[in-house]
Chains A and B, each alone.
Chain A
Amino acid sequence: MLKIAKYIILDIVRSKVLLAYTLLLLAISLTIFMSDADVTKGLVSITTVILIIVPLVSIVYATTYYFNAAEFTEMLVSQPISRRNILMGKFIGISSSILLAFIIGVCLPVSLFAFSATGITLMISGCLLTLSFISLAFFTSTITRDKAKGIGLALMLWFYFSIIFDGLVLLFLYTFADYPLEKAMIALTALNPIDLARILILLQMDISALMGYTGALYQQFFGSGIGIAFSLVMQLVWIVVPLFFALRIFKKKDL
């Protein structure tokens, strides 16, 4: 398993796409921190950027890589290695290399310029977000056999989680405006890893004061130990569950 991961890491690190991604993140973080003296504002801007870019790149790159390495997978399957180990090895390989890009591109500048509770939340949420979207990428790649279909599905998922979902939430809020929705909203945010990350970071930034009663309620929940644990667990669920389904499909899949 680890050997497969090692081969994949070496392969990915050599590719220029990942290098470009790292440099892009690094450029964004550094420009934001350099151009604005206010570190908190910088963190807000970085949050906005990473909430769009990180899921997109993670899911698309992982899917593309998965399909590009289809022959390698077929070759591995012919060897006496369990399919579980093959898929997990692939996951570890791809995720650790994309994570490495994120760590160099975002975590490094953030810990240099803005090492605070907010910064740490940003780093952790970013890492978890990366992992959950790679996990989703594995799910989409195992579902379909066609590369174009797989990438299309990945893009659709990204589009759904970053735009459509929030639109639906807004629609939901308007439809049921007469009802107390605080608890429902907490449940709804758990259904989207991007929202989870965003709210965790925003609450750290003390924007909760802006939010009035609803914000106070959220702060009470997500600010407490249970709330933080809840959102971390939910993010982990978003990593584990798609991967679990991917594994189940992959085990039975006729390559």
Chain B
Amino acid sequence: MKSRVVKIGLLFLLPFQVCANTIIVAPHTNVATLKQALTLAKNGDSIIVKKGTYASINTVIDKELTILGENHPILDAHFTEEVITITASHVKLDGFIIKNSKTGSMRDFAGIRLSNVEYVTISNNILVDNFFGIYLSNCLHIQLLHNLITGSANIENSGNGIHLWKCKEVLIKENYVTRHRDGIYFEFAKKCLIEDNLSEKNIRYGLHFMFSDDDTYRHNTFKNNGSGVSVMYTRRIAMLDNTFIENWGSSIYGVLLKEITDARIEGNHFIRNTTGIYMENSDRITVTHNDFISNGWAMRVLASCNKDHFTQNNYKGNSFDVTTNGTLKEIYFSNNYWDKYDGYDLNKDGVGDIPYRPISLYAQIIEQNPQSVMLMRSFIVNLIDKVERAIPSITPESVKDDKPAMKPWKK
């Protein structure tokens, strides 16, 4: 009786065992292309693709499969179509070199396109010369891990490296994006985690997002991108421990914030950018524990910002610490370290006894009269700045750090 139960049990297991086939794709065999393997496969199967070069003119993955590349086989679309489109959920695509998607102005051709799917993992792929790299539309619970994405650096024929449209809970981790239009682009992507990525030398923005609430960005590096990083119209984001470096040139920003509310910007490094943070219409933002080093303008806070808090940041070697275009209201600075602070600390509690005014007189002059930038670093400018610091009369009274730190903050 017991053995019969076991046998019946085994019978139930049987279909699953039969289904979980592994199909091997290799050149010059019966299954010589991924497309053939896909027609043979059933849900739950694995496909292993051996090393080689395969033409892949818009291969559509419409079954729940695990597709693994061995020693990075090449899937090449020869600039005729997309390379891979995934329309099934629970797919894993790992270890391919994906090349040469078509470019065009009517459609967004992509190296890997995911549309309307859930629980898909794209990992360890190398994407070369695609119009868009990885394109997600209307997806949920996706993981993009450790992909190397290189575009063509051609202004007319470049899409975004990683493009998300209307997605939720996507994990983007340890990817490298370069030479695309925008490195990582988000539109209506909510509750995503972007971690440990490097985005550099993209034509426009290293990171660009709009209407993408509740996202978290951690430990990413955005380096030397055409226009830096731009984030707009978004609520409740957290940018933690990122590095924004060498985004240099006129109207290039380390981070441009436009209509951002309730954001946390913590532990980031802004190094050698023309403008570290540029803020416009941004409310209730807390900026803490960041390093602003050797930027042209560490921060440019426009008068349209409200209720923002800047605490425990380090400002070192910036040409201008803070500038603005009008009267700042309810912008609070406290406990920051300013290398230009020349006050004193009589009771030795580590807090300067006189307030620091981060907006220098010369910064105000440039604001009113951009031509006067030509007097930069001249003796008279140093002189009037010093005089104004000693006896403040023109610089805004409201913008000041009442408790400037005497020593830089360490983490």
Contacts and interface: CB of A to CB of B under 8 A. Distances in A.
A232 B379 CA distance: 22
A218 B373 CA distance: 10
A38 interface: yes
Interface in A161-190: 162-163, 166-167, 169-170, 173-174, 177, 181-182, 185, 189
B398 interface: no
Contact of A181 (B252, B274, B368, B371): B371
B115 to A, nearest CB: 41
A209 B274 contact: yes
A209 B296 contact: yes
Interface string A174-211: 10010001100100010000110011001000111111
B109 to A, nearest CB: 34
Interface string A40-61: 0100100110011000000000
B296 A48 contact: no
Nearest to A195: B378
A199 B319 contact: no
Interface string B358-389: 00000001001111111111111111000000
Interface string A126-150: 0000000000000000000000000
B299 to A, nearest CB: 14
A174 B372 CA distance: 9
B317 interface: yes
A213 B379 contact: no
A202 B296 CA distance: 13
Contacts of B378: 51, 162, 166, 194-195, 198
A212 B370 contact: yes
Given A163-B383, A210-B274, A214-B371, A48 B377 contact: yes
A167 B375 CA distance: 9
Nearest to A176: B371
B369 A199 contact: no
B370 A213 contact: yes
Which residue, of B250, B251, B379, has the highest number of chain A Cβ atoms within 10 A?
Answer: B379
A124 interface: no
B274 to A, nearest CB: 5
Interface of A: 38, 41, 44, 47-48, 51-52, 162-163, 166-167, 169-170, 173-174, 177, 181-182, 185, 189, 194-195, 198-199, 202, 206-216, 218
